[in-house]
Structure 1
Amino acid sequence: MTQGSYATIREFTVCGPDSGPYGITTGPDGALWFTLVHEGRVGRMAPDGRHTLHPPDPFTGGPMTITAGPDGALWFTAFHGDAIGRITTGGEVARFALPEGGGPCGIAAGPDGALWFTRMHTGGIGRITTGGHLTEYPLPDPAAMPSMITAGPDEAMWFTLDQGNAVGRIAPDGDLAVHPLPTEGSAPVGITAGPDGALWFTEIGTGHIGRITTDGKVTEYPLPDPAARPHAIVTGPGGDLWFTEWGTAHVGRITPGGRIDEHPLPTPGCEPHGIALGPDGALWVALETGALARVTAA
Protein backbone atom coordinates (compact mmCIF):
# COMPACT_ATOMS: atom_id res chain seq x y z
CA MET A 1 0.00 0.00 0.00
CA THR A 2 1.25 3.49 -0.78
CA GLN A 3 0.10 6.84 0.50
CA GLY A 4 0.35 9.93 -1.68
CA SER A 5 -0.88 13.49 -1.30
CA TYR A 6 -4.37 12.70 -2.47
CA ALA A 7 -4.66 8.93 -2.88
CA THR A 8 -4.18 5.61 -1.13
CA ILE A 9 -3.41 2.64 -3.40
CA ARG A 10 -3.61 -1.09 -2.74
CA GLU A 11 -3.04 -3.93 -5.22
CA PHE A 12 -4.94 -7.23 -5.42
CA THR A 13 -3.39 -10.10 -7.40
CA VAL A 14 -6.03 -11.76 -9.61
CA CYS A 15 -3.95 -13.86 -12.03
CA GLY A 16 -0.45 -14.65 -13.22
CA PRO A 17 1.86 -11.90 -14.46
CA ASP A 18 1.43 -12.98 -18.10
CA SER A 19 -2.38 -12.92 -18.14
CA GLY A 20 -2.73 -9.21 -18.81
CA PRO A 21 -5.74 -7.58 -17.09
CA TYR A 22 -6.83 -4.89 -19.54
CA GLY A 23 -10.44 -3.68 -19.41
CA ILE A 24 -12.46 -3.20 -16.22
CA THR A 25 -15.98 -2.09 -15.33
CA THR A 26 -18.55 -2.27 -12.55
CA GLY A 27 -21.18 -4.92 -13.12
CA PRO A 28 -24.90 -4.89 -12.24
CA ASP A 29 -24.17 -7.34 -9.41
CA GLY A 30 -22.06 -4.89 -7.43
CA ALA A 31 -18.76 -6.51 -8.42
CA LEU A 32 -15.87 -5.58 -10.69
CA TRP A 33 -15.56 -7.36 -14.03
CA PHE A 34 -12.30 -7.40 -15.98
CA THR A 35 -10.71 -8.95 -19.04
CA LEU A 36 -7.55 -11.04 -19.26
CA VAL A 37 -6.49 -10.29 -22.80
CA HIS A 38 -3.57 -12.76 -22.99
CA GLU A 39 -5.33 -15.64 -21.24
CA GLY A 40 -8.70 -15.29 -22.97
CA ARG A 41 -10.79 -15.05 -19.81
CA VAL A 42 -13.19 -12.67 -18.12
CA GLY A 43 -12.86 -12.22 -14.36
CA ARG A 44 -15.10 -11.06 -11.54
CA MET A 45 -13.91 -9.58 -8.26
CA ALA A 46 -15.91 -8.51 -5.23
CA PRO A 47 -14.77 -5.30 -3.51
CA ASP A 48 -13.32 -7.43 -0.68
CA GLY A 49 -10.84 -9.03 -3.08
CA ARG A 50 -12.48 -12.42 -3.71
CA HIS A 51 -12.31 -13.21 -7.39
CA THR A 52 -13.38 -15.79 -9.98
CA LEU A 53 -12.22 -16.34 -13.54
CA HIS A 54 -14.76 -17.31 -16.22
CA PRO A 55 -15.10 -19.61 -18.01
CA PRO A 56 -13.28 -22.59 -16.46
CA ASP A 57 -11.65 -23.29 -19.86
CA PRO A 58 -10.18 -20.20 -21.51
CA PHE A 59 -11.85 -19.12 -24.73
CA THR A 60 -9.84 -17.64 -27.54
CA GLY A 61 -10.16 -14.14 -28.87
CA GLY A 62 -8.27 -11.77 -26.58
CA PRO A 63 -11.08 -10.01 -24.67
CA MET A 64 -10.17 -6.34 -24.35
CA THR A 65 -12.70 -3.79 -23.10
CA ILE A 66 -15.82 -4.63 -21.11
CA THR A 67 -18.95 -2.72 -20.15
CA ALA A 68 -22.25 -3.28 -18.33
CA GLY A 69 -25.06 -3.80 -20.83
CA PRO A 70 -28.69 -2.66 -20.58
CA ASP A 71 -29.80 -6.31 -20.22
CA GLY A 72 -28.11 -7.08 -16.89
CA ALA A 73 -25.13 -8.81 -18.53
CA LEU A 74 -21.56 -7.74 -19.32
CA TRP A 75 -20.49 -7.15 -22.92
CA PHE A 76 -16.92 -7.21 -24.18
CA THR A 77 -14.85 -7.02 -27.35
CA ALA A 78 -12.87 -10.06 -28.50
CA PHE A 79 -10.14 -8.24 -30.40
CA HIS A 80 -8.26 -11.22 -31.85
CA GLY A 81 -11.38 -13.32 -32.26
CA ASP A 82 -13.24 -10.64 -34.25
CA ALA A 83 -16.35 -11.03 -32.12
CA ILE A 84 -18.48 -9.34 -29.50
CA GLY A 85 -18.92 -11.32 -26.30
CA ARG A 86 -21.65 -11.38 -23.69
CA ILE A 87 -21.28 -12.89 -20.22
CA THR A 88 -24.01 -13.15 -17.61
CA THR A 89 -23.27 -12.54 -13.95
CA GLY A 90 -23.51 -16.33 -13.58
CA GLY A 91 -20.68 -16.85 -16.07
CA GLU A 92 -22.59 -17.98 -19.18
CA VAL A 93 -20.81 -16.76 -22.31
CA ALA A 94 -22.19 -16.04 -25.80
CA ARG A 95 -20.23 -14.81 -28.80
CA PHE A 96 -21.37 -12.86 -31.84
CA ALA A 97 -18.98 -13.11 -34.77
CA LEU A 98 -18.36 -9.96 -36.81
CA PRO A 99 -18.54 -10.25 -40.58
CA GLU A 100 -15.23 -9.28 -42.17
CA GLY A 101 -13.52 -9.19 -38.77
CA GLY A 102 -12.50 -5.68 -37.89
CA GLY A 103 -10.55 -5.95 -34.63
CA PRO A 104 -13.23 -4.75 -32.18
CA CYS A 105 -11.67 -2.65 -29.43
CA GLY A 106 -13.82 -0.23 -27.38
CA ILE A 107 -17.42 -0.91 -26.36
CA ALA A 108 -20.07 1.06 -24.46
CA ALA A 109 -23.81 1.01 -23.89
CA GLY A 110 -25.68 3.62 -25.90
CA PRO A 111 -28.75 5.74 -25.16
CA ASP A 112 -30.76 3.61 -27.61
CA GLY A 113 -30.53 0.38 -25.57
CA ALA A 114 -27.84 -1.14 -27.82
CA LEU A 115 -24.07 -1.63 -27.49
CA TRP A 116 -21.74 0.44 -29.67
CA PHE A 117 -18.18 -0.60 -30.45
CA THR A 118 -15.16 0.38 -32.53
CA ARG A 119 -13.64 -1.69 -35.33
CA MET A 120 -9.99 -0.78 -35.20
CA HIS A 121 -8.75 -2.74 -38.21
CA THR A 122 -11.45 -1.72 -40.69
CA GLY A 123 -12.11 1.84 -39.54
CA GLY A 124 -15.75 1.53 -38.60
CA ILE A 125 -18.21 1.89 -35.74
CA GLY A 126 -20.47 -1.05 -34.94
CA ARG A 127 -23.80 -1.37 -33.17
CA ILE A 128 -25.18 -4.58 -31.70
CA THR A 129 -28.57 -5.07 -30.07
CA THR A 130 -28.93 -7.27 -27.02
CA GLY A 131 -30.47 -9.83 -29.37
CA GLY A 132 -27.32 -9.91 -31.51
CA HIS A 133 -28.38 -7.84 -34.54
CA LEU A 134 -25.35 -6.06 -36.02
CA THR A 135 -25.07 -2.80 -37.94
CA GLU A 136 -21.83 -1.24 -39.19
CA TYR A 137 -21.05 2.38 -39.99
CA PRO A 138 -17.85 2.95 -41.99
CA LEU A 139 -15.67 5.96 -41.21
CA PRO A 140 -14.34 8.37 -43.87
CA ASP A 141 -10.77 7.18 -43.23
CA PRO A 142 -10.54 3.36 -42.91
CA ALA A 143 -6.99 3.68 -41.51
CA ALA A 144 -7.96 6.03 -38.65
CA MET A 145 -8.04 3.17 -36.09
CA PRO A 146 -11.05 4.01 -33.88
CA SER A 147 -10.13 3.01 -30.34
CA MET A 148 -12.41 3.68 -27.35
CA ILE A 149 -16.03 4.83 -27.30
CA THR A 150 -18.45 6.30 -24.74
CA ALA A 151 -21.96 7.67 -24.50
CA GLY A 152 -22.02 11.47 -24.53
CA PRO A 153 -24.37 13.91 -22.82
CA ASP A 154 -25.99 14.72 -26.19
CA GLU A 155 -27.62 11.31 -26.92
CA ALA A 156 -24.72 10.40 -29.23
CA MET A 157 -21.65 8.17 -29.00
CA TRP A 158 -18.17 9.70 -28.96
CA PHE A 159 -14.99 7.85 -29.91
CA THR A 160 -11.26 8.38 -30.38
CA LEU A 161 -9.37 7.93 -33.66
CA ASP A 162 -5.93 6.70 -32.62
CA GLN A 163 -4.31 7.19 -36.03
CA GLY A 164 -6.74 9.81 -37.28
CA ASN A 165 -5.63 12.46 -34.78
CA ALA A 166 -9.27 13.21 -34.08
CA VAL A 167 -12.33 12.57 -31.92
CA GLY A 168 -15.51 11.42 -33.60
CA ARG A 169 -19.23 11.56 -32.88
CA ILE A 170 -21.94 9.25 -34.17
CA ALA A 171 -25.67 9.81 -33.65
CA PRO A 172 -28.09 6.89 -33.18
CA ASP A 173 -29.14 7.25 -36.83
CA GLY A 174 -25.53 6.86 -37.98
CA ASP A 175 -24.81 10.52 -38.72
CA LEU A 176 -21.04 11.04 -38.32
CA ALA A 177 -18.84 14.00 -37.45
CA VAL A 178 -15.05 14.03 -37.03
CA HIS A 179 -13.24 16.72 -35.03
CA PRO A 180 -9.47 17.05 -35.73
CA LEU A 181 -7.18 17.62 -32.75
CA PRO A 182 -4.76 20.57 -32.67
CA THR A 183 -1.65 18.59 -31.73
CA GLU A 184 -0.19 16.32 -34.40
CA GLY A 185 0.65 12.76 -33.36
CA SER A 186 -1.67 12.91 -30.34
CA ALA A 187 -2.95 9.31 -30.82
CA PRO A 188 -6.10 9.65 -28.65
CA VAL A 189 -7.23 6.45 -26.94
CA GLY A 190 -9.42 6.63 -23.81
CA ILE A 191 -12.58 8.75 -23.67
CA THR A 192 -15.34 9.37 -21.13
CA ALA A 193 -18.21 11.74 -20.46
CA GLY A 194 -17.12 14.36 -17.94
CA PRO A 195 -19.08 15.95 -15.09
CA ASP A 196 -19.08 19.28 -16.95
CA GLY A 197 -21.09 18.27 -20.02
CA ALA A 198 -17.96 17.75 -22.16
CA LEU A 199 -16.00 14.67 -23.24
CA TRP A 200 -12.53 14.02 -21.82
CA PHE A 201 -9.91 11.89 -23.54
CA THR A 202 -6.28 10.79 -23.34
CA GLU A 203 -3.56 11.48 -25.91
CA ILE A 204 -1.12 8.60 -25.60
CA GLY A 205 1.19 9.89 -28.32
CA THR A 206 1.90 13.34 -26.89
CA GLY A 207 1.11 13.02 -23.18
CA HIS A 208 -1.95 15.27 -23.03
CA ILE A 209 -5.39 15.05 -21.48
CA GLY A 210 -7.95 16.50 -23.85
CA ARG A 211 -11.40 18.00 -23.44
CA ILE A 212 -13.93 18.43 -26.23
CA THR A 213 -17.30 20.14 -25.99
CA THR A 214 -20.31 18.76 -27.83
CA ASP A 215 -19.89 21.53 -30.42
CA GLY A 216 -16.31 20.41 -31.13
CA LYS A 217 -14.15 22.89 -29.19
CA VAL A 218 -10.94 21.19 -28.01
CA THR A 219 -8.68 22.06 -25.06
CA GLU A 220 -5.49 20.11 -24.30
CA TYR A 221 -3.69 19.85 -20.94
CA PRO A 222 -0.05 18.64 -21.06
CA LEU A 223 1.12 16.16 -18.44
CA PRO A 224 4.42 16.85 -16.62
CA ASP A 225 6.06 13.92 -18.47
CA PRO A 226 5.28 13.81 -22.22
CA ALA A 227 6.21 10.10 -22.18
CA ALA A 228 3.51 9.23 -19.60
CA ARG A 229 1.34 7.59 -22.30
CA PRO A 230 -2.07 8.27 -20.71
CA HIS A 231 -4.40 5.44 -21.68
CA ALA A 232 -7.85 5.11 -20.06
CA ILE A 233 -9.95 7.80 -18.36
CA VAL A 234 -13.08 7.88 -16.22
CA THR A 235 -15.07 10.34 -14.14
CA GLY A 236 -14.38 9.65 -10.49
CA PRO A 237 -15.79 10.68 -7.12
CA GLY A 238 -15.93 14.39 -6.45
CA GLY A 239 -16.33 15.35 -10.10
CA ASP A 240 -12.68 14.93 -11.16
CA LEU A 241 -11.33 12.82 -14.03
CA TRP A 242 -8.96 9.94 -13.30
CA PHE A 243 -6.66 8.34 -15.85
CA THR A 244 -3.95 5.72 -16.18
CA GLU A 245 -0.39 6.45 -17.30
CA TRP A 246 0.81 3.37 -19.11
CA GLY A 247 4.34 4.65 -19.69
CA THR A 248 5.16 5.77 -16.16
CA ALA A 249 3.01 3.42 -14.01
CA HIS A 250 1.03 6.25 -12.44
CA VAL A 251 -2.61 7.08 -11.91
CA GLY A 252 -3.48 10.71 -12.52
CA ARG A 253 -6.31 13.04 -11.64
CA ILE A 254 -7.39 16.18 -13.47
CA THR A 255 -10.00 18.63 -12.27
CA PRO A 256 -12.47 20.17 -14.74
CA GLY A 257 -10.38 23.33 -14.37
CA GLY A 258 -7.22 21.55 -15.55
CA ARG A 259 -5.23 20.95 -12.34
CA ILE A 260 -3.30 17.69 -12.53
CA ASP A 261 -2.11 15.39 -9.70
CA GLU A 262 -0.19 12.16 -10.31
CA HIS A 263 0.25 9.14 -8.03
CA PRO A 264 2.80 6.34 -8.53
CA LEU A 265 1.45 2.80 -8.40
CA PRO A 266 3.13 0.42 -5.94
CA THR A 267 4.70 -1.81 -8.60
CA PRO A 268 7.07 -0.08 -11.03
CA GLY A 269 6.49 -0.95 -14.67
CA CYS A 270 3.03 -2.39 -14.00
CA GLU A 271 1.55 -0.90 -17.21
CA PRO A 272 -1.88 0.27 -16.03
CA HIS A 273 -4.59 0.02 -18.67
CA GLY A 274 -8.33 0.20 -17.86
CA ILE A 275 -9.81 2.25 -15.03
CA ALA A 276 -13.32 2.24 -13.59
CA LEU A 277 -15.30 3.71 -10.72
CA GLY A 278 -16.04 0.76 -8.47
CA PRO A 279 -19.20 -0.07 -6.54
CA ASP A 280 -17.38 0.95 -3.35
CA GLY A 281 -16.71 4.51 -4.56
CA ALA A 282 -13.02 3.85 -5.22
CA LEU A 283 -11.16 3.81 -8.54
CA TRP A 284 -10.04 0.39 -9.80
CA VAL A 285 -7.21 -0.06 -12.28
CA ALA A 286 -6.25 -3.10 -14.39
CA LEU A 287 -2.50 -3.78 -14.30
CA GLU A 288 -0.56 -5.78 -16.89
CA THR A 289 1.34 -7.49 -14.05
CA GLY A 290 -1.70 -9.56 -13.01
CA ALA A 291 -3.33 -7.32 -10.42
CA LEU A 292 -6.11 -4.82 -9.88
CA ALA A 293 -5.25 -1.64 -7.99
CA ARG A 294 -7.75 0.09 -5.71
CA VAL A 295 -7.27 3.86 -5.54
CA THR A 296 -9.07 5.96 -2.95
CA ALA A 297 -8.97 9.70 -3.04
CA ALA A 298 -8.02 11.42 0.21
Structure 2
Amino acid sequence: MNEIREVSAAVREFAVSGRGSGPYALAEGPDGALWFTLVHQGAVARRDPGDGSVTVHPVGAGPTLVAAGPDGAMWFTEYRAHRIGRIAPDGSCSSFTPVTPAGGPFGIAAGPDGAMWFTLTAADRVGRLTMDGEVTEYPSPGAFPSAITAGPDGALWMTLNQHDAIGRITTDGTRTVHSLPTGGAAPVGIAAGPDGALWFTEIGAGRIGRITVAGEITEYPLPDPACRPHAVVAGPDGAMWFTEWGSGRVGRITVEGVVTSYALSRSDSEPHGIAPHDGALWCALESGSLARIEVSA
Protein backbone atom coordinates (compact mmCIF):
# COMPACT_ATOMS: atom_id res chain seq x y z
CA MET A 1 0.00 0.00 0.00
CA ASN A 2 1.37 3.46 -0.79
CA GLU A 3 -1.35 5.90 0.26
CA ILE A 4 0.09 9.14 1.68
CA ARG A 5 -1.96 11.47 3.89
CA GLU A 6 -0.68 15.01 4.33
CA VAL A 7 -1.54 15.86 7.94
CA SER A 8 0.36 19.14 8.15
CA ALA A 9 3.53 20.66 6.76
CA ALA A 10 5.44 18.56 9.27
CA VAL A 11 3.62 15.20 9.26
CA ARG A 12 2.86 12.68 6.52
CA GLU A 13 1.30 9.24 6.94
CA PHE A 14 1.94 6.17 4.82
CA ALA A 15 -0.60 3.34 4.91
CA VAL A 16 1.28 0.05 5.21
CA SER A 17 -1.35 -2.43 6.38
CA GLY A 18 -4.97 -2.90 7.33
CA ARG A 19 -6.11 -1.62 10.72
CA GLY A 20 -6.27 -5.17 12.04
CA SER A 21 -2.57 -5.81 11.39
CA GLY A 22 -1.34 -3.39 14.03
CA PRO A 23 1.98 -1.67 13.21
CA TYR A 24 3.47 -1.50 16.70
CA ALA A 25 7.21 -0.80 16.88
CA LEU A 26 9.88 0.18 14.39
CA ALA A 27 13.62 0.69 14.02
CA GLU A 28 16.11 1.51 11.31
CA GLY A 29 18.12 -1.49 10.20
CA PRO A 30 21.80 -1.78 9.28
CA ASP A 31 20.60 -2.01 5.66
CA GLY A 32 19.16 1.53 5.84
CA ALA A 33 15.57 0.27 5.69
CA LEU A 34 12.80 0.88 8.21
CA TRP A 35 11.70 -2.35 9.88
CA PHE A 36 8.47 -2.61 11.86
CA THR A 37 6.37 -5.20 13.63
CA LEU A 38 2.77 -6.08 12.75
CA VAL A 39 1.70 -7.33 16.15
CA HIS A 40 -1.75 -8.65 15.19
CA GLN A 41 -0.68 -10.11 11.84
CA GLY A 42 2.24 -12.05 13.28
CA ALA A 43 4.73 -10.47 10.91
CA VAL A 44 7.75 -8.20 10.60
CA ALA A 45 7.83 -5.81 7.65
CA ARG A 46 10.53 -3.86 5.83
CA ARG A 47 9.99 -0.47 4.14
CA ASP A 48 12.52 0.09 1.38
CA PRO A 49 14.47 3.34 1.79
CA GLY A 50 14.39 3.95 -1.95
CA ASP A 51 10.92 3.43 -3.38
CA GLY A 52 9.04 2.99 -0.09
CA SER A 53 7.80 -0.49 -1.01
CA VAL A 54 6.84 -2.73 1.90
CA THR A 55 7.76 -6.40 2.20
CA VAL A 56 5.97 -8.44 4.86
CA HIS A 57 7.59 -11.49 6.49
CA PRO A 58 5.41 -13.83 8.62
CA VAL A 59 7.26 -14.69 11.84
CA GLY A 60 5.12 -15.81 14.79
CA ALA A 61 2.51 -14.74 17.28
CA GLY A 62 2.67 -11.23 18.68
CA PRO A 63 5.91 -9.68 17.40
CA THR A 64 6.25 -6.59 19.56
CA LEU A 65 9.44 -4.53 19.92
CA VAL A 66 12.27 -4.61 17.40
CA ALA A 67 15.91 -3.50 17.49
CA ALA A 68 19.00 -3.68 15.30
CA GLY A 69 21.57 -6.21 16.43
CA PRO A 70 25.36 -6.15 16.23
CA ASP A 71 25.28 -8.90 13.58
CA GLY A 72 23.54 -6.89 10.83
CA ALA A 73 20.12 -8.46 11.55
CA MET A 74 16.97 -7.22 13.27
CA TRP A 75 15.92 -8.80 16.56
CA PHE A 76 12.41 -8.74 17.98
CA THR A 77 10.31 -10.06 20.81
CA GLU A 78 7.38 -12.41 20.19
CA TYR A 79 5.16 -11.56 23.13
CA ARG A 80 2.52 -14.24 22.60
CA ALA A 81 4.81 -16.96 21.23
CA HIS A 82 7.27 -16.34 24.12
CA ARG A 83 10.30 -16.27 21.85
CA ILE A 84 13.04 -13.94 20.65
CA GLY A 85 13.15 -13.65 16.87
CA ARG A 86 15.90 -12.73 14.43
CA ILE A 87 15.37 -11.64 10.83
CA ALA A 88 18.17 -11.08 8.34
CA PRO A 89 18.05 -8.42 5.60
CA ASP A 90 17.06 -11.14 3.10
CA GLY A 91 14.03 -12.06 5.21
CA SER A 92 15.32 -15.35 6.60
CA CYS A 93 14.13 -15.88 10.19
CA SER A 94 15.14 -17.84 13.24
CA SER A 95 13.95 -17.81 16.83
CA PHE A 96 15.23 -18.53 20.33
CA THR A 97 13.32 -19.67 23.40
CA PRO A 98 14.08 -18.06 26.79
CA VAL A 99 14.83 -20.27 29.77
CA THR A 100 11.64 -19.24 31.59
CA PRO A 101 8.49 -20.45 29.80
CA ALA A 102 5.54 -18.14 29.12
CA GLY A 103 7.56 -15.11 30.18
CA GLY A 104 5.99 -12.59 27.82
CA PRO A 105 9.10 -11.05 26.20
CA PHE A 106 8.55 -7.37 25.41
CA GLY A 107 11.55 -4.99 25.44
CA ILE A 108 14.73 -5.69 23.48
CA ALA A 109 17.96 -3.78 22.90
CA ALA A 110 21.54 -4.35 21.85
CA GLY A 111 23.87 -4.26 24.83
CA PRO A 112 27.42 -2.91 25.05
CA ASP A 113 28.66 -6.50 25.33
CA GLY A 114 27.67 -7.62 21.82
CA ALA A 115 24.53 -9.44 23.03
CA MET A 116 20.82 -8.68 22.86
CA TRP A 117 19.06 -7.94 26.15
CA PHE A 118 15.33 -8.46 26.64
CA THR A 119 12.65 -8.27 29.31
CA LEU A 120 10.19 -10.98 30.38
CA THR A 121 7.22 -9.03 31.65
CA ALA A 122 5.16 -11.93 32.98
CA ALA A 123 8.13 -13.59 34.72
CA ASP A 124 9.82 -10.49 36.19
CA ARG A 125 13.10 -11.46 34.59
CA VAL A 126 15.71 -9.92 32.28
CA GLY A 127 17.43 -11.99 29.61
CA ARG A 128 20.69 -11.88 27.67
CA LEU A 129 21.02 -13.59 24.29
CA THR A 130 24.34 -13.96 22.51
CA MET A 131 24.73 -14.09 18.74
CA ASP A 132 25.42 -17.82 19.17
CA GLY A 133 22.01 -18.33 20.80
CA GLU A 134 23.13 -18.71 24.42
CA VAL A 135 20.49 -17.41 26.83
CA THR A 136 21.12 -16.22 30.39
CA GLU A 137 18.40 -14.84 32.67
CA TYR A 138 18.46 -12.67 35.77
CA PRO A 139 15.73 -11.68 38.24
CA SER A 140 14.33 -8.27 37.35
CA PRO A 141 14.99 -5.31 39.67
CA GLY A 142 11.19 -4.95 39.98
CA ALA A 143 7.76 -5.94 38.72
CA PHE A 144 6.84 -6.11 35.04
CA PRO A 145 10.07 -5.03 33.30
CA SER A 146 9.00 -3.45 30.02
CA ALA A 147 11.18 -1.44 27.61
CA ILE A 148 14.96 -1.71 27.91
CA THR A 149 17.83 0.33 26.51
CA ALA A 150 21.60 0.61 26.74
CA GLY A 151 22.70 3.48 28.98
CA PRO A 152 25.72 5.75 28.64
CA ASP A 153 27.29 4.04 31.66
CA GLY A 154 27.71 0.61 30.08
CA ALA A 155 24.63 -0.84 31.83
CA LEU A 156 21.10 -1.66 30.66
CA TRP A 157 18.20 0.44 31.92
CA MET A 158 14.54 -0.56 31.92
CA THR A 159 11.11 0.60 32.97
CA LEU A 160 9.43 -1.37 35.75
CA ASN A 161 5.82 -0.80 34.77
CA GLN A 162 4.07 -2.27 37.81
CA HIS A 163 6.76 -1.20 40.26
CA ASP A 164 6.57 2.51 39.38
CA ALA A 165 10.33 2.47 39.06
CA ILE A 166 13.31 2.46 36.75
CA GLY A 167 15.69 -0.48 36.90
CA ARG A 168 19.37 -0.86 36.02
CA ILE A 169 21.31 -4.05 35.36
CA THR A 170 24.99 -4.38 34.60
CA THR A 171 26.29 -6.89 32.09
CA ASP A 172 27.32 -9.15 34.98
CA GLY A 173 23.79 -9.11 36.42
CA THR A 174 24.09 -6.56 39.25
CA ARG A 175 20.71 -4.88 39.71
CA THR A 176 19.56 -1.51 41.06
CA VAL A 177 16.08 -0.01 41.37
CA HIS A 178 15.07 3.67 41.45
CA SER A 179 11.52 4.35 42.65
CA LEU A 180 9.61 7.16 40.94
CA PRO A 181 8.17 10.09 42.92
CA THR A 182 4.72 9.69 41.34
CA GLY A 183 2.53 6.74 42.24
CA GLY A 184 0.68 5.06 39.38
CA ALA A 185 3.26 6.31 36.87
CA ALA A 186 3.40 2.91 35.08
CA PRO A 187 6.50 3.72 33.00
CA VAL A 188 6.77 2.04 29.58
CA GLY A 189 9.25 3.51 27.07
CA ILE A 190 12.86 4.41 27.86
CA ALA A 191 15.76 5.74 25.80
CA ALA A 192 19.16 7.30 26.29
CA GLY A 193 19.17 11.06 25.73
CA PRO A 194 21.75 13.43 24.25
CA ASP A 195 22.41 14.84 27.73
CA GLY A 196 23.87 11.67 29.26
CA ALA A 197 20.62 10.80 31.07
CA LEU A 198 17.83 8.27 30.46
CA TRP A 199 14.37 9.52 29.46
CA PHE A 200 11.16 7.55 29.97
CA THR A 201 7.40 7.78 29.59
CA GLU A 202 4.87 7.55 32.42
CA ILE A 203 1.79 6.22 30.66
CA GLY A 204 -0.24 6.17 33.87
CA ALA A 205 0.60 9.70 35.02
CA GLY A 206 0.84 11.55 31.69
CA ARG A 207 4.44 12.60 32.30
CA ILE A 208 7.88 12.35 30.77
CA GLY A 209 10.65 11.43 33.18
CA ARG A 210 14.42 11.88 33.20
CA ILE A 211 16.89 9.93 35.33
CA THR A 212 20.61 10.51 35.58
CA VAL A 213 23.01 7.59 35.84
CA ALA A 214 23.40 8.61 39.49
CA GLY A 215 19.66 8.08 40.02
CA GLU A 216 18.42 11.69 40.18
CA ILE A 217 14.86 11.83 38.80
CA THR A 218 12.94 14.73 37.24
CA GLU A 219 9.35 14.48 35.99
CA TYR A 220 7.67 16.76 33.44
CA PRO A 221 3.84 16.82 33.40
CA LEU A 222 2.39 16.91 29.89
CA PRO A 223 -0.34 19.40 28.85
CA ASP A 224 -2.84 16.53 28.44
CA PRO A 225 -2.52 14.26 31.51
CA ALA A 226 -4.63 11.62 29.74
CA CYS A 227 -2.45 11.43 26.60
CA ARG A 228 -0.82 8.15 27.76
CA PRO A 229 2.77 8.62 26.52
CA HIS A 230 4.11 5.29 25.31
CA ALA A 231 7.47 5.15 23.51
CA VAL A 232 10.34 7.64 23.56
CA VAL A 233 13.49 8.14 21.50
CA ALA A 234 16.27 10.69 20.98
CA GLY A 235 15.70 12.71 17.81
CA PRO A 236 18.26 14.09 15.36
CA ASP A 237 17.53 17.60 16.67
CA GLY A 238 18.87 17.11 20.19
CA ALA A 239 15.40 16.66 21.73
CA MET A 240 13.44 13.63 22.90
CA TRP A 241 10.37 12.53 20.94
CA PHE A 242 7.51 10.40 22.22
CA THR A 243 4.17 8.97 21.15
CA GLU A 244 0.89 9.93 22.84
CA TRP A 245 -1.09 6.74 22.48
CA GLY A 246 -4.20 8.11 24.15
CA SER A 247 -4.52 11.33 22.14
CA GLY A 248 -3.22 10.39 18.68
CA ARG A 249 -0.30 12.81 18.79
CA VAL A 250 3.48 12.81 18.71
CA GLY A 251 5.28 14.91 21.32
CA ARG A 252 8.68 16.55 21.59
CA ILE A 253 10.48 17.58 24.78
CA THR A 254 13.75 19.46 24.93
CA VAL A 255 16.39 18.58 27.50
CA GLU A 256 15.23 21.73 29.34
CA GLY A 257 11.70 20.34 29.56
CA VAL A 258 9.90 22.42 26.90
CA VAL A 259 7.08 20.37 25.32
CA THR A 260 5.42 20.66 21.90
CA SER A 261 3.32 18.13 19.99
CA TYR A 262 2.05 17.26 16.54
CA ALA A 263 -1.44 16.04 15.71
CA LEU A 264 -1.81 12.93 13.59
CA SER A 265 -4.68 12.38 11.17
CA ARG A 266 -6.95 10.76 13.77
CA SER A 267 -7.16 10.92 17.53
CA ASP A 268 -7.64 7.13 17.54
CA SER A 269 -4.62 6.33 15.35
CA GLU A 270 -2.92 4.69 18.37
CA PRO A 271 0.74 5.68 17.90
CA HIS A 272 3.10 3.26 19.61
CA GLY A 273 6.75 2.93 18.57
CA ILE A 274 8.91 5.84 17.41
CA ALA A 275 12.37 5.90 15.80
CA PRO A 276 14.69 8.20 13.85
CA HIS A 277 15.07 7.33 10.16
CA ASP A 278 16.12 9.21 7.05
CA GLY A 279 16.61 12.50 8.91
CA ALA A 280 13.08 12.45 10.36
CA LEU A 281 11.09 10.79 13.15
CA TRP A 282 8.83 7.88 12.23
CA CYS A 283 6.15 6.32 14.40
CA ALA A 284 4.01 3.20 14.06
CA LEU A 285 0.26 3.74 14.14
CA GLU A 286 -1.78 0.71 15.12
CA SER A 287 -4.51 2.03 12.81
CA GLY A 288 -2.40 0.74 9.88
CA SER A 289 0.08 3.47 8.95
CA LEU A 290 3.55 4.82 9.55
CA ALA A 291 3.84 8.55 10.24
CA ARG A 292 6.85 10.62 9.21
CA ILE A 293 7.51 13.81 11.19
CA GLU A 294 9.88 16.38 9.73
CA VAL A 295 12.55 17.58 12.16
CA SER A 296 14.29 20.92 12.06
CA ALA A 297 17.96 20.87 12.89
**TM class, shorter-chain normalised?**
over 0.9
Counterparts of 1:42 and 1:85 in 2: how far apart (Å)? 10
Q: Is the 8 A contact 2:65 2:77 kept in 1?
A: yes
Q: How does 1:10-25 map to 2 (within 5 A)?
A: 10-25=12-27
Query: Which residue number corresponds to residue 202 of structure 1?
Result: 201
| TM-aligned CA deviation for residue 297 of structure 1 | 2.0
Q: Retained in 1: the 8 A contact 2:141–2:167?
A: no
TM-score, normalization: structure 1? Answer: 0.95
Residue equivalent to 2:8:
3
After superposition, give the CA deviation of every residue in 1:105-146 in whole Å (9 maximum; x if it has no partner): 0000000000000000000110000111000001254xx111
After superposition, what is the alpha-carbon deviation per residue over 1:177-211, rounded to whole angstroms, capped at 9, x for unaligned? 00000000000000000000000000000000000
Q: The residue matched to 2:237 in structure 1 has which SS? A: helix
Aligned residue pairs: how many? Answer: 289
CA RMSD of aligned residues (A): 1.0
CA distance in 1, matches of 2:22, 2:131: 28
Which residue of 1 is the match for residue 126 of structure 2?
125
* Partner Cα distance (1:97, 1:172) in 2: 20
Whole-Å Cα distance in 2 between the matches of residues 130 and 102 of structure 1?
A: 21
- In 1, Cα distance between the equivalents of 2:159 and 2:209? 11
2:266 alignment partner AA:
T
Other-structure match for 2:53 = 50
Identity %: 59
Give 1:49 shift: 2.2
In structure 1, the residue matched to 2:139 is 138
Structure 1 residue ranges without an equivalent (≥5): none
The answer to whether the Cα contact below 8 Å between 2:22 and 2:285 also exists between their aligned partners in 1 is yes
Q: Aligned AA for 1:135? A: T
- Going from structure 1 to structure 2, the CA distance change for 1:250 and 1:140 (only over 3 Å counts) comes to closer
Q: Distance in 1 between matches of 2:151 and 2:47?
A: 28
How far, CA to CA, are the matches of 1:102 and 1:22 in structure 2?
Answer: 20
Shift of 1:81: 0.4
Cα deviation, 1:142-166, whole Å, max 9, x if unaligned, reads: xx11100000000000000000000
Cα deviation for residue 91 of structure 1 reads 0.2
Structure 1 runs of 4+ aligned residues shifted over 3 Å read none
Instruction: Give the superposition deviation at 1:60.
Output: 2.7
For 1:31, the aligned partner's letter is A
Runs of 5+ in structure 2 lacking a partner?
1-5
Q: Deviations over 1:50-77 (max 9, x none)?
A: 11101xxx34321000000000000000
Residues 12 and 49 in structure 1, CA contact (< 8 A), matched pair in contact too = no
With the length of structure 2 as denominator, give the TM-score of the two structures.
Answer: 0.95
